[in-house]
Amino acid sequence: MSELVTLQTYLGTWAGSDAARKAVAETVTAIAEAGIGIAELVARGPLEEGLARIRGTDPNAGGDAQKELDVVAEERIRAALLPTPAAFLASEESEELIPLNPRGRLVVAVDPLDGSSNIDTNVSVGTIYSILPYDPAVHADPVSAVMRPGVNQVAAGFLAYGPATILVATFGEGTQVFVHDRRSGDFVLARAAVEIPVETKEYGVNQSNARQWHAPMRRYVEDCLAGKEGPRGKDFNMRWVGSMVADAFRIFTRGGVYVYPGDKRKGYENGRLRLIYEANPVAFLVEQANGGATDGTTRILDITPHHIHQRIPLVFGSKAEVEKIASYY
């Protein structure tokens, strides 16, 4: 059997003696380590009953009910990032940026616990991160460093806490999958270059919202449901976990398309997912794995954010299917 590559050795080779890359490597290592602790808490499930409880009555910055574990996860990440070269943290759970290392030259945006409405159901939840460069000489205000189109990301990824704790990461050179080896404690490289199949017969969407969708989305799903006899000429399968990290990992494994469109409900005009710490990192990972990511028509990574917590309609996965969806709009 060939030599195992750990996250540490992978990052050591990738960064070499490049100071900027070393800073990114250190930051991702800290997030991965925080993830191991969060995975342990998630795995205690009902034994940590209090953590799945909704916190107070106020929603979080993104407008969702906040669970105890959302807040604990954010705190674990913040603490892990303090000694790294990250200057600020943007988080779903905090209205404002959280200051970290005053000499840092990176900003990190996270969804500390994606899919947290599922904590008590024992399906995968995860942590999503996006890393951008920060230069105080250019960005007088750190918020302006975060409010840039996703093409500026230097690294992105997510941890999914499922049967295995996995890290899907990109440093701009393809997309890699690492698996946390509970025996050695290391993240071990399992897939060095993820390739999302271009074509698919599998889509994922919360179909209970169908009556709220706009016409293009309704037509797209109707055509999938029509199967072989319909205009698509093939039978489709539908899969929806309702934890984006889990749905994304399935797409990285066997292709498919994930769709959370904007709809007619108040507050859902731009769908549900947040641009900066959900759509952008996933779009970066997907593109690096030869997939596509749009808001229906426009490439996610080209969109200039106007608010840290803004939502964006999101379509990502197998390239040909993402393009097909654009043709309905």
Q: Which residues are catalytic?
A: 64, 70, 92-93, 111, 113-114, 278
When asked if residue 282 is in the footprint of ligand AHM (CB under 6 A), the reply is no
> Nearer to ligand AHM by C-beta: 28 or 259?
259
11 annotated as ligand-binding: no
Q: Is 116 flagged in the annotation as binding?
A: yes
Residue number with CB closer to Mg ion (68 or 111): 111
Q: Which is closer to ligand AHM, CB of 78 or CB of 272?
A: 272
Residues numbered 40 to 79 that lie near ligand AHM (CB under 6 A) are: 64
Q: Interface residues for ligand AHM in 255-274 (CB under 6 A)?
A: 272
Residue 93 binding ligand AHM, by CB under 6 A? no
Give the one entry of ligand AHM, Mg ion, none that residue 243 binds, where binding means its C-beta sits below a cut-off of 5 to 8 angstroms depending on kind. Answer: ligand AHM
The reply to whether 311 sits near ligand AHM by the rule CB under 6 A is no
Q: Which of residues 99-118 bind Mg ion (CB under 5 A)?
A: 111, 114
C-alpha 260/C-alpha 243 separation (Å) is 12
What is the nearest approach in angstroms of ligand AHM to the Cβ of residue 143? 21
Which listed residue (85, 104, 115, 261) binds ligand AHM by CB under 6 A? 115
Residue among 28 and 246 whose Cβ is closer to ligand AHM: 246
Which H, E and C letters describe the chain, residue by residue? Answer: CCCCCEHHHHHHHHHCCCHHHHHHHHHHHHHHHHHHHHHHHHHCHHHHHHHHCEEEEEECCCCCEEEHHHHHHHHHHHHHHCCCCEEEEEECCCCCCEECCCCCCEEEEEEEEECHHHHHHCCCEEEEEEEEECCCCCCCCHHHHHCCCHHHCCEEEEEEECCCEEEEEECCCCEEEEEECCCCCCEEEEECCCCCCCCCCEEECCHHHHHHECHHHHHHHHHHHCHHHCCCCCCCEECCCCCHHHHHHHHHHHCCEEEECCECCCCCCCCCCEHHHHHHHHHHHHHHCCCEEECCCCEHHHCCCCCCCCECCEEEECHHHHHHHHHHC
Residue from 93, 114, 186, 287 touching ligand AHM (CB under 6 A): that is 114
Q: What residues from 195 to 254 belong to the interface with ligand AHM (CB under 6 A)?
A: 206, 242-244, 247
How many residues bind Mg ion, per CB under 5 A?
Answer: 2
Binding site for ligand AHM (CB under 6 A): 64, 111, 114-117, 206, 242-244, 247, 272
Annotated binding site for substrate: 114-117, 206
Binding site for Mg ion (CB under 5 A): 111, 114
